[in-house]
Structures are given as structure tokens and as C-alpha cells.
Amino acid sequence: MNYLIKEAKLEDQIICDSAGTSSYHIGAAPDSRMKSTALSRGIELRGRARQFDWFDFEQFDLILAMDRENYQNILALDPKGKYNHKVRMMCEFATEHTEQEVPDPYYGGQAGFDKVIDLLLDACRGLLAEIRQNN
């Protein structure tokens, strides 16, 4: 998403961050296979893994989950449902792919990483189009 935000020259208007719902990769760089796959499409992945925190509900207007398990884990951090309206599934924004969840490519070989990058680019383009339409 940050690649598309920069490409659209919207860095001063849109802030995008990433966080996982588990703690076992905190501080780790992006997976080298995903970095390589993204770089083959001109996208440089940066940053370090962090865990989603309750404060993120306050910080961000929209919180996207890659799969249903993460979606439920995020909602569980908001037991009163105050921020439920902010939480959506990433694939809701895809226009060319029909997947309901972003698959975990970790064990799927290179084809899995290619599929995930293509799916995420599609969903992020759809999200950016919706943001532009609503603002």
C-alpha cells in the first residue's frame, strides 16, 4: 500500500502501517522471499514486524485483516465493539481476485508469494480507489 500511496503522491495525506496479531515475529524484517517477490515488481518492503496494539484503534481510521483468524483476533481486543466499524477484511477491496482471505505463502513456494503480492496489489489498488472516491 505504501508503494501505491507514494506512486500516487499521497504520502502527506495517507499513513499506512502494518502489524501482526501474534508476537512471535516482533522486530523481524520482512520475509526474504516476500521481499524478493515484491522487489521484482519494483516494491521495496521496509520496516520491522510489530504486534497490533489497542492504541492502533485510536491511531488509524481503517484496520485491515488478512484473514478471518486475524480479523477475530483484532475484534477480540475491542470487547465493547467501540471500533468494530474500523475493522475490515483486506480482500473486500480486491477487484480482480475472488479470494476472501489473503493466504499465508510461507509454505507454498514461490508461486504462493507471487499470488499474495498480486492479490495485495489488487486489493490495495481497490482500497486506494475507494479512499479517493470517498475523500
Q: Confirm if 78 and 1 have CB atoms less than 8 A apart.
A: no
CATH number attached to the domain at 2-134: 3.40.50.2300
Per-residue confidence in pLDDT tens, the chain, 135 aa:
999 999 999 999 999 999 999 887 899 988 999 999 999 999 999 889 999 999 999 999 999 999 999 999 999 999 999 999 999 999 999 999 999 999 999 888 999 999 999 999 999 999 999 999 998
The pTM (predicted TM-score) of the whole model is 0.92
How many Cα neighbours within 13 Å face the side chain of 111?
1
For the record, the C-alpha cell of 128 comes out as 486506494
| Spans of all domains in the chain | 2-134
